[in-house]
Chain A
Amino acid sequence: MNKEVFQKAYEESVSQLRSYILRMTASVEDTEDLMQDTWIKASRNLSSFKGDSSIKTWIFAIASNLTIDNLRKKKRWPENVTDICKDAAKKNPKHFQETLQIMETSAHAKFEIKEHIAFCFTCIAKSLPLEQHLCILLKEVYGFKIQEVSQILDTRPARVKYHLYTARKKMIDVFEGRCALINKEGVCHQCSEINGIFNPKQNTQEELVKIKMAKEAEKGEKERLLDLRLQVLKDLDPYHSSAHDLQLHHLEHNRRVMEQYLKEKE
């Protein structure tokens, strides 16, 4: 493969790649480092590309390996990550002030519930075992086929099926138990609560009606509701969405809180 072909393929994939690494690591800084490492590793090894997959699949394989190395030694987050981080935020007036400042100064910081749904998934998906996390993002958010995911992760397609199946089961269970958008008994109302704080004049119910997942919640089709949740992620680029400055700030907060929380649990 020559450099021009690679460069074109890389540029076409770069937004998805950055978004994928961010959703795996939940760290803006690690994402930038891994993006750079991916570029260096790929461009130095163009001769190793044999054409067994698309160039995009090959680039994602390199990025995935580097991301796995980055995450392998780190502990997975707990399912109730958003509860823990909410408590930490409440005790930290600086976080709230920073948030207000971002909202006042950035053109990309208007809180939207759908962005919080994607943010919430990013945090909770970090409670999945690493392989399951990789499979659900690659297949269900970034649109790779099972065969391509197996090439990216250098594993058998049957194993990808297993990881994907178990990841979906777990995410359905977690959101069924937690998310008040799809289950009236759900314990977490965080997206509606924050919307009330940042958009006090807005009618939350009217906003929710615009979100297909919330609209279809009463039908109770769990697999479908997860697909709709994943669709929210597919439609959002965490670096270019209308509230990305706000959401990236929240994500950095949660990452710091989790690192501290997991350190204290050791």
Chain B
Amino acid sequence: MTSMTYGQPDGKATTIRKTFSRTTAVSIGINADRAIVWALLTNAADYARWNSTIISIEGDIMADAKIKLKSTLDPSRTFKLHIKEMMPEEKLMWGDSMGQRTFSLNKGSVNGVTFTMHEKIGGLMFPLFANKIPSFDASFEAFARDLKSEAEIIQKSSR
């Protein structure tokens, strides 16, 4: 099991900038069964319903599959991403040649889970366009907030 966490699980994003890369991360505590959080993270067609940062995801989120993602951060672009790693209810990683995003679920302090998402982008050419890439902080915080909210609503649903 991964133990990757970034700072406090308070839903605040942090970004570390280096010459050839940039890493943004967010952690948040979620009072829900990890199966619910995992289901939300891996059901591509359902993302747009609960996640305000995603316009659409086409394809199936499964190991080695390809997906097409449209984000509110840059609605004009479609990101073609490869599902690089999937460890059920623990870790999901997708990315392209520019970078990769990792989602991880760890046991929470009381009940539930700590969700962590981090993305590293970079490469040799990165310094040339680094300042053209918008900050991910607000989008990461919204993603974490939406996931927490939806998972906790489902957890509490009496049905």
Contact = CB atoms under 8 A, between A and B. Distances in A.
Contact of B40 (A139, A162, A168): A162
Interface residues of B, number: 16
B58 interface: no
A5 to B, nearest CB: 31
Max count, chain A CB within 10 A of own CB: residue among B36, B40, B153, B155: B36
Interface string B16-48: 000000000000000011111001100101100
A158 B36 contact: yes
Contacts of A140: 159
Contacts of A139: 159
B45 A159 contact: no
A139 B32 CA distance: 21
Nearest to A165: B154
Contacts, number: 40
Contacts of B46: 166
Interface string B113-125: 0000000000000
The binding surface of chain B is classed by DSSP as helix
Interface residues of A, number: 15
A130 B50 CA distance: 20
A161 B154 contact: yes
Contacts of A158: 32-36, 39, 155
B157 interface: yes
A146 B35 contact: no
B49 interface: yes
Contacts of A156: 33, 35
Max count, chain B CB within 10 A of own CB: residue among A140, A165, A168, A169: A165
A140 B34 CA distance: 24
B38 to A, nearest CB: 8
A21 interface: no
A255 B43 CA distance: 27
Nearest to B45: A129
Interface of A: 129, 139-140, 146, 156, 158-159, 161-166, 168-169
